[in-house]
Amino acid sequence: MRRRYACAYAVLPRDLVEAVQTHFTGLLWVPSSKHFYTERKELVLALKEEGVPIKEVARLAEISPRRVYQILKKELSDEKTSDTFDSFPVCNPVEGKSDGEDGNSLNSDSAPESEASVQNSHDDD
């Protein structure tokens, strides 16, 4: 597995290095673009789907076998989650209507009678 490290002065303009040093000194990790991670994930998944052994997938993707397992585990977890939520019905209630089958409105104008008015109606009995 190959790690790419470089001296900041060798790859960045001197004034940029000095500006970074005002905020941080030491080992600084600069992440790749999201596009890079998406492509790597797709490569790992495609190789594994073809039956390529984990160690070979790791070598080809230039990552550790542990990272390969992490990518595969997350993908499996994401698939299970999407399968679970796909089985639930989608609810798009119409404005002013409840999302129940009975069509009762959730607006305050249609709130049930107050306890006092219900009691008063029972006093007549």
String of DSSP letters for 90-121: P--PPTTS-SSTT----SGGGPPPPHHHHHHH
Per residue in 89-104, pLDDT tens? 555 556 555 444 454 4
Q: Go through the domains of the chain in sequence order and give each one's CATH number.
A: 8-86 (1.10.10)
**Predicted TM-score of the model (pTM):** 0.48
Segment 76-99 shows an average pLDDT of 63
pLDDT at 46: 95
| Amino acid residing at 94 | V
pLDDT at 64: 95
The whole-chain average pLDDT of the chain stands at 76
d(CA 65, CA 77): 18
d(CA 97, CA 107): 8
Angle formed by the axes of helices 54-61 and 65-86, to 10°?
100
Per residue in 40-54, pLDDT tens? 999 999 999 999 999
